[in-house]
Each structure stands twice: as C-alpha cells, then as structure tokens.
C-alpha cells in the first residue's frame, strides 16, 4: 500500500535552509564542480554545521512523539536538493549525525525540485536560494527564503515557537493593496466595512491550519497525560492595529485556528517584539520588517503579493 502524505503535515527543505553550506558553496564558486565534488567526498563523514532553520526542523520533527502510531507520524520533512545523489550523500549523513528523522529526499543535479512540491503535498518549502523560492511562489506554491539571521540552538529547550506576519503570509494581499493605494485611513475603512468577510488564504495558510491541528492533538494528549506541558506556540506579529485587528481574528476563527499570541503593533518595530518572543522561525513578506527581525530571530521572506513587486534588498544566506 502506498505511503499516504495527505493526512500529515509535510515540509520540504533545501539543504541550504537546514545546514550551513557557506564553505561548500565558496569552493563551488571558486574552483568549480569537480573540486566541489572532491571536497564533498573528502569530507563525507564530517557533518555540516547547523543552519538557520535547523532548530525549527528539529523541533517540528520532535512533535511526532504525540502520534499514538509511530508508523503514522504527524510530520514529514522531505529534503529537496539541487545536488546530485553522490554529492548529496554528505547531506544525508549529516541528517543521520544529528538524528533528524528525514528519510525522503529528491536530488536533482543543478536543477531545483520545487515543481515536485504538490506531488509531496508540501505545505511549506524552505530554501536559501531566492530564485527557487520566487519561482515556487509564482507557481502558487507555499515557499519562503531563509535569510541570514541570528539563531541559537538550545538543546534543553523542546518548545517550538512559530511567528507569522498576517497579510501576504497567512492571508492574501487584497488589504495590503488597499493600503498601498488608499493609505492607512482607507485601509482601516476597508477592513471595518469587510469585517465579517474572511480574508482569502495566503501562501502559508495551509501550513498554519496543519500546525493548528497538531496543537489540538497536544490538547488531546494532555487530557490523558496531565503532566504534559504544551510545546507548540503560534504567534501572529502584524503591523495591523485597531480597528483592523478584528477582521484578522475573525479570519483565523473561520479557518478553525486560534493563535496563542497576537501582536497588533501599528508601526512598532517587529524586531523589538521578536527579541522578547524569541521564535524559532518568523515569516514575513516585507523587507523592512525582516531587516530588524533577522537580527534577533531566524527569519523567512515570503516573496508574495504587491509588496514584492519591487526589488528588495534582504540579508542573503549562501544557497
């Protein structure tokens, strides 16, 4: 019987998102593919350093211990790599070294595998390679570019804190377009007038809904294990403020989702909030927010909607 990915959360990751490939990439750029292949073979048993999204991926996979059937995990992480199978072997050995339960992989020499996102029912694809992420978003796939960010792996911390911007990430960019064309007053008027109308889903809506399902499973588990402490915490960190906050909250409710925290900042710098919140990953569509965010938390750019129609300058992670 075929392994069914439809009933679980699936996240696709490029090796550039999870591991630090800066040294490998510099050799490829300086010396070419043959020297790169030799370097990977010589260092086959030397694990790659942890990368920006490593803490997120590790904690995400750890939630599988909530499944009553270990053969039926809640979460699958699939490696999507531009390497060929031979040079990708070091990545797979690194995955094993860190004890990450990642067994499924695609290796496509010099070509991005983002077109396979639907085939694996992937709700989120992470890569440091901007062209791949842009192409995936343009095809309507849920993708984000991992930026050069501050991160720290705390082995004693088993929680998973995920923070989302709202417009252009969880919701579509309809309201952001109003903001761009009509200003703040027009935006608030539009949101008040449409307060009972849920927003259209944005790129990461499905990912949020799937994470919310795992939160509900946590609550069920807690009912029979009173000593259990919830590990998954979801936060909304948005530039919205009153009165536009209500439509956002009603939209989440229409998706059967409830965030643990909601920050309606109305122009307060997001980096100041994130430095206290300390998420393991933060998703935003706007470059201005991400510059301050990436200085304090692992940050991901979602290049979706009207705010990304102009060229932006963001902290770049080596692909």
> What amino acid positions are annotated as catalytic residues?
165
State whether residue 284 is helix, strand or coil. strand
Q: How many helices (H) and strands (E) does the chain have?
A: 11, 10
Let me know: does 129 contact 303? Beta carbons within 8 Å: no
What's the DSSP call for residue 94? H
Q: Which residues fall within 8 angstroms of residue 225, CB to CB, at 6 or more apart?
A: none
Separation between Cα atoms, residue 62 and residue 57, nearest integer Å: 9
Give the burial string for 133-152 (b: 16+ CB within 10 Å, else e).
bbebbeeebbbbbbbebebe
For residue 37 the two structure tokens come to 């292949």
State whether residue 41 is helix, strand or coil. helix
Show contacts of 243-250: CB within 8 Å, 24+ apart. 243/188, 243/191, 243/192, 244/175, 244/187, 244/188, 244/191, 244/192, 246/191, 246/195, 247/175, 247/191, 247/192, 247/194, 247/195, 247/197, 247/199, 248/166, 248/171, 248/199, 250/195, 250/196, 250/198
């Amino acid at each position: 019987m075929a392994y069914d990915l439809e009933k679980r959360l699936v996240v696709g990751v490029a090796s550039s998102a999870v591991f630090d490939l800066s040294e490998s990439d510099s050799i490829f750029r300086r010396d070419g593919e043959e020297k790169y292949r030799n370097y990977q073979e010589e260092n086959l048993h030397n694990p790659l350093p942890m990368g920006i999204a490593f803490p997120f991926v590790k904690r995400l996979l750890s939630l599988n211990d909530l499944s009553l059937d270990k053969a039926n995990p809640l979460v699958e992480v699939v490696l999507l790599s531009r390497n060929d199978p031979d040079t990708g072997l070091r990545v797979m050995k690194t995955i094993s070294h860190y004890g990450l339960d990642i067994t499924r992989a695609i290796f496509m020499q010099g070509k991005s595998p983002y077109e396979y996102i639907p085939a694996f029912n992937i709700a989120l694809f992470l890569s440091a390679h901007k062209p791949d992420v842009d192409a995936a978003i343009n095809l309507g796939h849920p993708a984000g570019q991992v930026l050069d960010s501050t991160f720290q792996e705390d082995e004693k911390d088993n929680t998973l804190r995920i923070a989302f911007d709202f417009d252009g990430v969880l919701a579509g960019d309809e309201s952001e377009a109003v903001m761009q064309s009509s200003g703040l007053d027009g935006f608030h008027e539009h949101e008040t007038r449409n307060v009972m109308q849920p927003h259209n889903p944005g790129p990461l809506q499905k990912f949020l809904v799937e994470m919310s399902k795992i939160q509900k499973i946590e609550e069920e588990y807690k009912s029979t294990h009173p000593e259990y402490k919830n590990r998954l915490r979801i936060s909304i960190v948005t530039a919205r403020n009153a009165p536009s906050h209500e439509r956002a909250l009603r939209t989440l409710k229409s998706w059967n989702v409830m965030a643990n925290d909601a920050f309606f900042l109305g122009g307060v710098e997001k980096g100041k909030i994130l430095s206290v919140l300390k998420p393991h990953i933060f998703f935003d569509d706007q470059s201005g927010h991400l510059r301050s965010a990436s200085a304090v938390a692992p940050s991901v750019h979602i290049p979706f909607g009207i705010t990304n129609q102009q060229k932006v300058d963001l902290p770049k992670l080596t692909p």
